[in-house]
A and B are shown apart, each in its own frame.
Chain A
Amino acid sequence: APHGPWVGYLVLNCDDPETEQAALAAVDYVNRHLLWGFKHILNQIDKVRVWPRRPFGEVFEMEIDTLETTCHVLDPTPLANCPVRQLHEHAVEGDCKVHVLKQDGQFHVLSAKCDSSPDSAEDVRKVCPGCALLVPRNNTAVVHAAEAALAAFNAQSNGSYFQLVEISRAQLVPLPESTYVEFVVAATDCVAKEVTDQSQCNLLADKQYGFCKATLTKKLGGEEVAVTCTVFQTQPVVPQPQPDGTNQTASSPAVVPDAPSPPPASPPAASLVVGPMV
């Protein structure tokens, strides 16, 4: 028995390199299992306890803070190259409680539970009094802006007809009065110029997703829309490592019907294809 008041766990510095390795493994795991929204990046390690694990290894019990980046979870850009969403863009924080097993020098995530929350309106106003605040993604004006932007995009497209997959975030801009929206689209088997009945279009078997940013501005007697979309290169479906050690196909319909498949564990670098701009 060890001397002194043995509490069962070891304490490490939150900035200990081993602690950071465990935290980065947890963030990577969380990002690979997000089904919508944006990748998160490690901001701060709040707490860490290291428990011995029988018969081998040790378990890092941690609390970590993350920040939303501007990279969508379907974006193959490596996390290290993803800019953090700034305060004036209405930042979003994540709070995670994770258990990470270290065994034979390897980190494996056993569990992860995260809650995300936007910065308070008061805090945004402090740094940027005129900045637009996040609004619910199902806001009527937001949905209209996304649909109008996608229609404009398809009207200018010489390729596939794209369908709306997800509205990822949106802000109502006070001056000039406009709606800013970021959304995900997916290519269908229809040709954009020839579509007559959208309900007959099907998503491609090799899913091809795109990410769009649009601003819809109200004008006297009408509205104006500006949209830019980035189409991601088709990504192979790879088995996703699970906490219980089994592998699961990312797009397995038994798990998440009709949900976009998460990006691969090691996405190819520099695989972005820039689509048309309207």
Chain B
Amino acid sequence: SVAQPGVAVATGPAPPVCPGRIRYFKV
């Protein structure tokens, strides 16, 4: 995030990542 100095930037938990990694290949 880019913000002016002294300005609070809203930070929260990162959104969950789904679907997960592909271990072999996608059919």
Q: Which residues of A contact B17 (CB under 8 A)?
A: 13-15
Instruction: Report how far A13 CA is from B16 CA in the complex, Å.
Output: 5
Min CB distance, A94 to chain B, in Å? 10
Q: Assess the A45–B24 pair: CB atoms within 8 A.
A: no
Q: Which residues of A contact B21 (CB under 8 A)?
A: 15, 44
Q: Which residues of B contact A84 (CB under 8 A)?
A: 24
Q: Does A93 contact B (CB under 8 A)?
A: yes
Considering the complex, give the chain A residue whose CB is closest to the CB of B21. Answer: A15
Q: How many A-B residue pairs have CB under 8 A?
A: 51
Considering the complex, give the chain A residue whose CB is closest to the CB of B23. Answer: A43
Q: Chain A: interface residue count, which band?
A: 20 to 34
Considering the complex, give the chain B residue whose CB is closest to the CB of A11. Answer: B16
Instruction: Report how far A14 CA is from B19 CA in the complex, Å.
Output: 6
Min CB distance, A93 to chain B, in Å? 4
Q: Does A141 contact B (CB under 8 A)?
A: no
Q: Assess the A14–B22 pair: CB atoms within 8 A.
A: no
Q: Assess the B18–A67 pair: CB atoms within 8 A.
A: no
Q: Mark A103-144, 1 if CB is under 8 A from B, else 0.
A: 000000000000000010001000000000000000000000
Contact pick for A45, options B18, B25, B26, CB 8 Å: B18
Q: Does A42 contact B (CB under 8 A)?
A: yes
Q: Does B6 contact A (CB under 8 A)?
A: no
Considering the complex, give the chain A residue whose CB is closest to the CB of B15. Answer: A11
15 sample A-B contacts, Cβ–Cβ < 8 Å, listed by A number = A11-B16, A13-B16, A13-B20, A15-B21, A19-B20, A43-B22, A43-B23, A43-B24, A43-B25, A44-B21, A44-B22, A47-B18, A47-B19, A67-B27, A91-B25
Measuring CB to CB, which residues of chain B are less than 8 angstroms from any residue of chain A? 16-27
Measuring CB to CB, which residues of chain A are less than 8 angstroms from any residue of chain B? 11-15, 19-20, 41-48, 67, 84, 87, 91-93, 119, 123
